[in-house]
Chain A
Amino acid sequence: MTEFLNYLSSNVTPGQTGAYLWVTIYILIIFAVASVAVMAMTWLERKILAHMQVRLGPMRVGPHGLLQPIADAVKLLIKEDIIPEGADKLVFWMAPVVVVITAFTTYIVIPFGPTHAVTDMNIGILFMLGVASLGTLGIIMAGWASNSHYPLLGSLRSSAQMVSYEVAMGMAVVSAVLMTSLTGAGAYGIGATAANSIGTLSMIGIVEAQMNQHVWFIFKFFPLGFAAFGIFAIAMVAETNRAPFDLPEAESELTAGFHTEYSGFRWSLFFMAEYAAMIAVASIAVTLWLGGWLRPFPHWLSGDPWDTAFSFFPALTFFVLAGMSFRATIRMPKHPYFKIQKTGLGIFGLILGAIGLVLLVPPVRDRIQDIYWFTIKVAAFMYLYIWYRGTFPRYRFDQLMKLGWKFMIPAGIGVLIATALVGVL
C-alpha cells in the first residue's frame, strides 16, 4: 500500500520503478481508453465521411447516432460465428488473436506524458516497429487459413504492401532518431549541447530531446525534418491498410480481402486491431516529430501566465463539445417523437460540461496537460485518416508498389544521408 501511494509523487514511469500494481492499473486504463477510442472512431468516421458526402450518416440509434457503436458491437457479438468447412481451424482461430495482441502490445511504450507510460524502454521505438510488424503475420495467417481465393490474394497483397512500406518507414524513423543527438548547422538545428549529445531510441528520451533542443523535430534542419515526417505520414497510411492504400480490402476486386471468411466477433477483432494500430502509428508520428506531450511554444511563450493560460485548454475543449451538443439539442425538431433523444443529448452535453468543470480544478488541471496535448495531436491524425478516405481515390496495386519502392525508399535514404551530413557539418 505504501508502495502504491509512494508512486504518486515519483517522476518516472511505473515500469521503471517496478510498481507492479500501478503497471497493471496503467495497462487496464490504456486498454479501456483505447477500446472506447476505437468505438468513438467508428462513429466519427461514419459521421465525418457522411458530412463530407453531404449525407447525414447514422441518425437513428440515439441522438445523432451517438449510440450506434454500441448497437454495432451488440450486433457483432450475437452474430453467428462461422468457420469455413475447409479452413485450417487452429490457424483460423489464432489469426485475429495475433492481430489484436500485436496492436495493443505497442501501447506499453507510448509516452502520454513524462511519467504516463506503462514503461520506458531503451529500445522503445524499435520495440514499437518490431511488434507492429508482427501484425503482418496475423494477416497472412488469416488469409491462408480461410482456404479461399479472395482472402489469400488479399493477404498476399497486404503483406507485400506492409513489408515494402516498412522499409521507407524505418528510414524516416532513423533520421528522426539521428536528430536526437545532432546539433548541426541547418536552419532551426538549435539547442543540442555536449551534455545531451547521446542519441536515444527510448520514446520518452526522444520527446525529452525535443524539449532540451527547443525544437520539434518536424522543424529541425528545416526541409529535412519535414521531409522525413512526410515520408512517415504516407508510409503509416499504407502500413495500416487504410484508404487510399486499402488494397487488401478493395471491395470491387477482392470482396473484403483477408477477412472475407470471418464473421461476428472474430471479424470485430480485426476491425478493432486496425483502429488500435492506427492510433499506435499516429502516436509514433506525434512522439517523433510533433513533440509528444509538449504544449505549443513551451520556450517562446514560457513563464507562469502562459503556463496557466495553456492549462485551460483541456477544460475549454470539453466546454466547446458541451456547447455543440447543447446547440444540437436546441435545433432538434419540436415533435414529441424526439423527446427522449432531446433529453439524452442534453444530458450528454451536461456530462461533457461536468468533465470540463473537473478539469478546471488546479491539481487536475496541472496533471492532465501532458495527456491532453498528446491526445489532441493524435486526434488530429485520426481526423486526417478519415479525411484521406473521403478525398483520395484508391491506388492501383502496381502504382502502390511503384510509389513504395521507386519513390519512398530512395527519398527515405536520401533524407537519412542528408540529415547525417547536415548534422555533422
Chain B
Amino acid sequence: MNPVATPFFFYGLSAVAVLSAVAVIMRRNPVHSAIALIFTLLSLAGLYLMLYAPFVAGVQIILYVGGIVVLFLFVIMLINIDRMQREYQFNKQWLVALLAAALLGALFVAVYVKGQAIFPHNAVRFPEQLNTQQVGRMLYVDYLLPFEIASLLLLVAIVGAVVMAKKRI
C-alpha cells in the first residue's frame, strides 16, 4: 500500500516534535516538561514509520515512552515541585550555548544548500513486510559480535547502578 499525504504528515509530525521539544525546556513545571517530552518522542516514532522502519518506531514507543519517561515521571513526582518552580531555570553558559547553536545553524544551512546530494541515493530498501526480520538478521547474524559487546556494556552499567544505589549487598 502506498503512503498518502506524505508532506502533510511529515510537516505535521515535525511541527509537533519541534514545538513540544521547545516546551520541554520552556515549561517551569517539570511534570509538564516530561509530558511534552512524550509528545516529542511519539512524533519521532511517527517519523520512523514514515521512513519504513516500523520496528524502530515500535521500540521507540515501548522503550522511551513506556519505559524511560514513566521512570522520569516517577522520580519527578517524589520531588518537591513548589520549591523547584521558584528556582532560576537557566544555567549561565551562554558562550557554549552560542557556539553549539552556531554549529547547528551551520549544519542546517549546509544541508539546505547541498540538498539531496549529501544523502545516499542507492541505499538498499527492504520491503516493509520484512522489516523486523531484517533487523533481527542484521543484529544476530551480520553484526553479532558488536551487538554482544554492547549488551555486555549494558550489563556492566546495570551492575554498577545496583552497586552504587545499594549500601549493603
Of B35, B55, B131, which is within 8 A of A141 by CB?
Answer: B35
**Segment touching B, from A128-136, A264-272, A349-357, A364-372:** A128-136
**Inter-chain contact B62/A199, CB cutoff 8 Å:** no
Give residues 157-189 of A contacting B (CB, 8 Å): 159-160, 163, 166
**Inter-chain contact A144/B58, CB cutoff 8 Å:** no
A90–B62 Cα distance when bound, in Å, is 25
Closest to B4 in A: A18
Most buried by B among A16, A134, A152: A134
Closest to B52 in A: A122
Contacts of A127 in B (CB 8 A): 58, 61
Q: Does B38 contact A (CB under 8 A)?
A: yes
Q: Does B21 contact A (CB under 8 A)?
A: no
Known: A18-B1, A137-B38. A144 touches B73 (CB 8 A): yes
A152–B61 Cα distance when bound, in Å, is 25
**Inter-chain contact A136/B58, CB cutoff 8 Å:** no
Contacts of B69 in A (CB 8 A): 137
Known: A16-B1, A17-B1, A122-B132. A134 touches B59 (CB 8 A): no
Closest to A135 in B: B66
Contacts of B31 in A (CB 8 A): 88, 91, 141, 144
Q: Does A74 contact B (CB under 8 A)?
A: no
**Inter-chain contact B132/A137, CB cutoff 8 Å:** no
**Inter-chain contact A131/B61, CB cutoff 8 Å:** yes
Of B29, B54, B70, B71, which is within 8 A of A122 by CB?
Answer: B54
Closest to B78 in A: A156
Binary flags per residue of A101-142, CB closer than 8 Å to B gives 1, else 0: 000000000000000000001110011011101101100110
Shortest CB-to-CB span from A86 to chain B, Å, is 11
**Inter-chain contact B77/A130, CB cutoff 8 Å:** no
Binary flags per residue of B121-133, CB closer than 8 Å to A gives 1, else 0: 0000000111111
Shortest CB-to-CB span from A250 to chain B, Å, is 19
A188–B1 Cα distance when bound, in Å, is 37
Of A91, A130, A160, A200, which is within 8 A of B62 by CB?
Answer: A130
Number of interchain pairs (Cβ within 8 Å): 88
Give residues 218-264 of A contacting B (CB, 8 Å): none
A133–B58 Cα distance when bound, in Å, is 12
Q: Does A198 contact B (CB under 8 A)?
A: yes
Give residues 1-30 of B contacting A (CB, 8 Å): 1-2, 4, 29
A345–B132 Cα distance when bound, in Å, is 52
A133–B29 Cα distance when bound, in Å, is 24
**Inter-chain contact A123/B66, CB cutoff 8 Å:** no
Contacts of B132 in A (CB 8 A): 122-123, 126, 200-201
A88–B133 Cα distance when bound, in Å, is 44
Shortest CB-to-CB span from A326 to chain B, Å, is 49
**Inter-chain contact B54/A134, CB cutoff 8 Å:** no
A130–B54 Cα distance when bound, in Å, is 12
Binary flags per residue of A5-19, CB closer than 8 Å to B gives 1, else 0: 000000000011110
Of B1, B29, B73, which is within 8 A of A140 by CB?
Answer: B73
Of A133, A144, A200, which is within 8 A of B66 by CB?
Answer: A133
Q: Shortest 6 CB-CB distances between A and B: which pairs? A: A133-B66, A130-B61, A126-B58, A130-B62, A123-B58, A18-B1
A122-B129, A123-B131, A140-B73 provided; 16 other pairs, C-beta below 8 A?
A: A16-B1, A88-B31, A91-B35, A94-B35, A126-B55, A126-B132, A129-B62, A130-B61, A133-B61, A137-B65, A137-B70, A140-B74, A159-B73, A163-B71, A198-B133, A199-B133
CB pairs A–B below 8 angstroms (9 shown): A15-B1, A122-B128, A127-B58, A130-B66, A134-B66, A140-B70, A143-B77, A156-B77, A198-B133
